[in-house]
Structure 1
Amino acid sequence: MNLTRQIRGLFQPIQPTIQQTKENVNYIEFLPATKLQPYIYCYWQLKTTEKLNGAFSYKVVSDGCIDILFELNNPKDNFVAGFCKKYTEYVLQPEFNYVGVRFLPTIFPQIFKVNASELSNKFQNLEDFVPQTSKFIASHFHPKLNIEEIKSKFDTYFTNVLNHTVFDFDNRLYNAIDTILKNYGVLNIEKDVDVGISNRQLRRLFQFYIGDSPKTFSKVVQFQNILKAKPSHQSLKQNKLFYDIGYYDQSHFIKDFKNFYGVTPNKAFKRT
């Protein structure tokens, strides 16, 4: 519990592209019950308030998390989206009402005993990995539910799941994550992360519980901290930001940022 609570205290995954959604499309995040917050970062809903004139392109940036999601109008089709090392773009129908659960890093594999690397950079049927949860969603959700009712159903279900979960809190893994988060992802994994095991062993732990290597996770943490800092257009123009966050080459910084976000830093922060 304390280890996962510490992750939440140090890491707040941001999905900034919600600010770019057009009129008649709403995105909200809402907290789970207090007991669940060390494990689940948020529940979320992305929906149209009116039918759009055409398909809607929605971009999800790299945030280090694993999500369960489904269309509230068709909950039998539910999915899991794994750790992604680059942004993902989805083309949605003119009307939609998506609901999701965003798990903090390491939690989905802890709860469901699923190797996170099997989900990485993929969008897959939840039934293939966690059939019991897939069946719960299919039988308990429908389009008439409001936010409070959605939250209540999720809270009840995941509280029961957690009550029957045996966690494997490997201190080596969580100490490494703690070091990465406290250094904002700006560190040399081989030199700065010493948890008493080889780099190969550490990589195996990260592959299973995070979905990728310690180095990739660090880059995502670094990227997320850029989003949290909300740099101004002026600071980007003066080429100061990439030095402050550990880059020595502006082109490398821009390349990494575009990979995680989908656009350059100047375009992402053009309103600031």
Structure 2
Amino acid sequence: MKPKIFEPHENLAAWVKCYWTLESTIENTPLKNTIIPDGTMKLIFHYGDTYKHHINDTESIILPKCFLIGQLTRPYVVEPLGVTGSFVVRFQPNGFLPFANISIKEIQNTAVPLDALFGNEGTAIGTQILQANSTSERIQLIETFLLNRLTDKKSIDSIVASTVETILNANGQFTVNELSKKNNINRRQLTRKFSSTIGLSPKQLSKTIRIQNTLKTLLTTEVTSLTDLAYENEYFDQAHFIKDFKEFTGLTPKEFYGEHLKMSLIFDSEE
């Protein structure tokens, strides 16, 4: 159950990273999936059956059919309640800002229904996308909706954009001090800017990108030593690597490398 990925219109590329669809029958749908933080926010439309979110071992909630998922700082466990049919808008790390009318920082690890974001217009676009007959129709609907709301392109912050690019290009291997010096900005100011525009601190985004890069190595390369993997990704030592890995996946590297190895493919939205 791997997503199909689609590029956004060039007028939205600064804000939207990609679209993707995920479909499965009941027979090939895993019982539970773990969404691992990747530094982006997503609009999710379940045109198939909906999902349940497991908050912990004893608590769970039924997710809305259409919602925004805020920045994740921990593993987010979901369970499909039937046939999966999902259309996802994956924003750039700072890409949701022009469309936000609520505090991005305050919706970390939270599913926000579309009507809470956009009122009646949110309800209407959700209904249209759920009733659409094809991915191309869904993309056309959401792009028209987003372009109509893209009224303040100046809301992008050049320092934030530059720092995000640095973090991505370096696979998260810069410290916050190095990032603030590179952009000639006070560390606290940089953290404040990130918090309000991305919903994560520079340190959180760097840790997220680094763990994502590590996961891609696990999924695409034959790894002979987890210790070597830790040092290749510039973790201080193996203990530091294990701590960060468990923080984001809920598992140790050894546990993940076993039966759980392929689970992140389900929600891996990179080609």
- TM-score, structure 2 as length reference: 0.78
Q: How far did 1:171 drift? A: 2.4
Q: How far did 1:188 drift? A: 1.9
Shift of the 28–267 alpha-carbon distance from structure 1 to 2, 3 Å rule, reads: farther
Report which stretch shifted further, 64-73 or 110-119: 110-119
Partner of 2:17 in structure 1?
41
- Counterpart AA for 1:242: A
Partner of 2:46 in structure 1?
71
- Counterpart AA for 2:67: F
Partner of 2:268 in structure 1?
none
Q: In 2, Cα distance between the equivalents of 1:73 and 1:192?
A: 42
Whether 2:161 is the aligned partner of 1:174: answer: yes
Q: How far did 1:99 drift? A: 1.9
Name the SS of the counterpart of 1:118 in structure 2.
helix
Q: How far did 1:55 drift? A: 7.8
1:137 to 119, 125, 138: 125
Q: How far did 1:53 drift? A: 9.3
Q: How far did 1:104 drift? A: 0.8
Contact map agreement 2:41 2:93 (CA 8 A) in 1: yes
Q: How far did 1:126 drift? A: 2.4
Contact map agreement 2:132 2:138 (CA 8 A) in 1: no
Q: In 2, Cα distance between the equivalents of 1:71 and 1:244?
A: 38
1:216 to 204, 207, 214: 204
Name the SS of the counterpart of 1:68 in structure 2.
strand
Q: In 1, Cα distance between the equivalents of 2:84 and 2:178?
A: 47
Q: In 1, Cα distance between the equivalents of 2:131 and 2:30?
A: 20
- Counterpart AA for 2:117: F
Unpaired runs of at least 5, structure 2: 51-63, 263-271
Partner of 2:237 in structure 1?
249
Instruction: Encode CA deviations 1:75-133: one digit per residue, 9 max, x unaligned.
Output: 98421101111221112202232222111111112333442102111122222223255
Number of equivalenced pairs: 244
Q: In 2, Cα distance between the equivalents of 1:245 and 1:92?
A: 33
Percent identity (aligned): 27
1:234 to 221, 224, 229: 224
Q: How far did 1:60 drift? A: 0.9
Contact map agreement 2:75 2:250 (CA 8 A) in 1: yes
Name the SS of the counterpart of 1:219 in structure 2.
helix
1:78-117 equivalences under 5 Å are 78-117=66-105
Contact map agreement 1:54 1:93 (CA 8 A) in 2: no
Partner of 2:145 in structure 1?
157
- TM-score, structure 1 as length reference: 0.78
Shift of the 143–262 alpha-carbon distance from structure 1 to 2, 3 Å rule, reads: farther
Partner of 2:54 in structure 1?
none
Unpaired runs of at least 5, structure 1: 1-20
Shift of the 178–33 alpha-carbon distance from structure 1 to 2, 3 Å rule, reads: closer
RMSD of aligned Cα (Å): 2.8
- Counterpart AA for 2:6: F
Q: In 2, Cα distance between the equivalents of 1:124 and 1:105?
A: 18
1:198 to 186, 194, 197: 186
Q: How far did 1:147 drift? A: 1.7
